[in-house]
Amino acid sequence: MNAPRRKPSSTASGLVLIDKPQGWTSHDAVARTRRLANTRKVGHAGTLDPMATGLLILGINSSTRLLTYVVGLDKEYLATIRLGAATSTDDAEGEELTRAPAETVAALAAGAVTAGIQALTGEISQRPSAVSAIKVDGKRAYARVRAGEDVQLPARPVTVTEFELVSSTPVDGFLDLRVRVVCSSGTYIRALARDLGAGLGVGGHLTSLRRTRIGPFGIDAADPLDRLDVARALIGPADAASRLFDRLDLDEQQALELSQGKRIAAPDGAVDGGPVAAIDPHGRLIGLAEYRAGEAKSIVNFPPDDPPPSAAQPAEAAEAEETP
């Protein structure tokens, strides 16, 4: 008996916005989406801890080329910081290291909390959590910690644009702060919780985290992973690139020449730099271009895509694993 013929992989391209559930890793979301989209070429922009929920941006097929530009965008989070205890992972999944007396936590003045938050707002130097995904001599920091190593990562500059206290609630000898944070890429919200608690002398850690925005993409437009329909959710390459960059509309000849690697005349008033999204007359993304000395040149090309997979394509079950 002949084996059933395998369905050809799809080349449909674009970005997909996922609302990642708690307990799933970014790798889990990629694995499930690979099956749903019928392609191996799926990547993500910016990991979320298994404990965290919220926005995860996936690139499919040639649109994985856009992820490089998505990773560095600013991000917004809603989080709960628990004051009164420090943990080994700076979040609720770690071992409790220290606990402040309940009366000390209860005596925290609102002004002191506000001042602590203000001290962690703006351009700051932050030491990433030891259980981060940062590589130390080729190995992830969190893997070294799990192997019993003492990992101390160097501090690095990050920008916390907004650090807003939404509410404050006493809970069983602790003080839970609901906060909203807007920050640069590479900022660790767990580290903000740790440093806020340390600055107040009571310890602190993160108990919940939800990412609500990455650059121009918001959680309101994301699909729950268990109800993901890739064909319906796919943001096409031209649409995605036009949200990320200024747009350069091309005529047929310009599109042909740019796709062949030739330089074309830049529009009047164009300022040197880029990228810009180069779009042909049919609304297809030719590539990303940059302006130099009155000309536009391609820096990333995008091949034509097949039509997206059928919306009727059945969903498949997912598995599980880990990333930080």
Which amino acids are annotated catalytic? 49
Neighbours of 109 (CB within 10 A): 9
Query: What span, in angstroms and rounded, lies between the C-alpha atoms of 126 and 142?
Result: 17
* Helix (H/G/I), strand (E/B), else coil: 178: strand
Q: What are 211's two structure tokens?
A: 């990412």
Pairing of strands 217-218, 204-214: antiparallel
Give the contacts of 71 (CB within 8 A, at least 6 positions apart). Answer: 45, 46, 185
DSSP letter assigned to residue 215: T
For residues 26 and 16, give the distance between their C-alpha atoms in angstroms, rounded to a whole number: 13
User: Which residues lie across from 177 on neighbouring strands?
Assistant: 81, 168
Q: At what angle do helices 110-119 and 189-199 cross, to 10 degrees?
A: 130
